[in-house]
Amino acid sequence: MTNCLNGKIRGLDSINLTITTGISQIYVIFFSIKSVKALTFAKGYEIMSYGKTPMIRAIFRKKENSIEHRSSREQRKIMNKPNKTILKSLFFAAILFFVNPLWSSDDFSIPKNLEDNVMFWKKIYTEVSLKEGFIHDRDYPMIIYRWISIGNRSGKQRRSYIKENIRQVELLLEGINRKSSAQWNDQERGIADLFKQYASIEEIQTAADRVRFQLGQKERFKEGLERAEAYMPHIISTLEKYGIPVRIAYLPHVESSFNLNACSRVGATGIWQFMRSTARIFKLKMDKKIDERRDPIKSTIAAARLLQKNFQNFQSWPLAITAYNHGPQSIKRAVEETGSHDLGIIIDQYKNRRFKFASKNFYGCFLAASEIAAEPEKYFADLNYHPPLKFNQIQLKKSLSPAQLSRQLGISQDTLMRLNPSIRPVVFKRQLAIPAGLTIRIPVTTQSLANKGKPPQRPISSSTEQKEENVIHRVSSTQGKSISGNQK
């Protein structure tokens, strides 16, 4: 166990006592002389960075004996304690932190049987392009038989090429099993060595049934890193609000690469990949004109509520995250059948025709993606981050077509579409009426129509009624703010 004391000791603006255990669990005790009202403890929240900007995010849980529960006189005494006394308090608090199991956490520990999976997905996300892929073992993914190039093959030609490579590997494995180890050639001995390193030599006997292909994701993941910067401030603040560890802000890298228009083969949509049934439960509007699953702000709120509910059910972030993909009822059944809340044990022991490769690897994908996203420049060069999204909001009091609304606001339809992804593309294509009462996002530079041609006025506040004919009913409270809620 190692202890690191960080912060400004002189003046005690803030102190962070970070305690890291041998299994990479991270805990933070935070104390601020100038602003803190309570000595609080954070579970499993780590110092992270995203893109070019380092961020420190944590949700702190207040204890009954914290400073804010004491009288004003006691508070002043505590706030005026000498530095040595405060440091002693932090030291003993750290000891209590480990003694009391309620304060300990293994929020994002890596099950032993997933360590190689995480390594595999980091390779897929950072080393293997969309025109390449691995022929590998399904259950022991770091047993990589071939790194193949797909090139410009597509459709049936591409499928046949992949199938041919898989079959060749299957025949090779079958041949290995027909021979004694003394008869193996260099290629066969190399494969045997992979099994000794990542599985066991006995597993080679059934390996021909586990051969699969995985396409690379390097370009897609890089694009996701660049896109994510636009939405990350909002996602971080929303997760904090719901008590979700901020590391989960990286989950859309796995789900959608932060592509607002992402839609899976089964109809999951948006950066958080909501199915229609789940979206309805969490009050996301969907009709012929509107699909709020495609809205990065509203869908993030729904995702936070879903993740919060999953954690309340399982008291384990590995299970809560896996349930996000596989469904909470299915994970509940897995827990009941295995008698364990350990994801590693569930992956090894739970047998269900729906619990396949994607679900078993979802948490490993998340760990790999979050490690990469925390240090993107370590894996990618020339990242071109999108600027944080900023906007004003108005509410329509009368239905208007996109062309009419764009013309009255003095912005292009492309800008209107970009800022309002929940409005379906068909509305713009067919010039359907945008429903009255809908809140519309507009650029922060867009002036009130009533002020066109006049000298610039102060920013319109949320309490200002607009007089723009047929367009604006009121300006929302996010006027002039970024999506994270910070003033421009």
- CATH number, domain containing residue 263: 1.10.530.10
pLDDT for 90: 53
Parent domain of 76: 2-103
Domain closes at, from 182, 215, 248: 215
Domain closes at, from 332, 347, 378: 378
The answer to whether 282 and 305 have CB atoms below 8 angstroms apart is yes
Q: Are residues 286 and 305 in the same domain?
A: yes
CA distance 329 to 311: 13
By the 10 Å C-beta count (0-12 exposed, 13-18 middle, 19+ buried), 273 is classed as buried
- HSE (CB half, 13 Å, CA atoms) of 462? 8
Q: Are residues 340 and 253 in the same domain?
A: yes
Domain closes at, from 215, 245, 279: 215
pLDDT for 78: 44
pLDDT for 36: 34
pLDDT for 201: 96
pLDDT for 109: 84
Q: Are residues 161 and 226 in the same domain?
A: no
Q: Are residues 74 and 137 in the same domain?
A: no
Q: Are residues 306 and 338 in the same domain?
A: yes
pLDDT for 446: 64
Alpha-carbon distance values, 463 to 393, 473, 474, 475, 478 (Å): 13, 11, 8, 7, 11
pLDDT for 107: 77
Residue 108 lies in a domain: no
Over the chain (488 residues), the average pLDDT of each successive run of 10 is: 32 35 36 34 37 36 38 44 51 46 55 94 98 98 98 96 98 96 96 97 97 98 97 96 95 97 95 96 96 97 97 96 96 97 96 95 97 96 95 93 95 96 97 95 70 35 34 40 34
Q: Are residues 363 and 396 in the same domain?
A: no
Residue 117 lies in a domain: no
Q: What is the DSSP letter of 102?
A: G
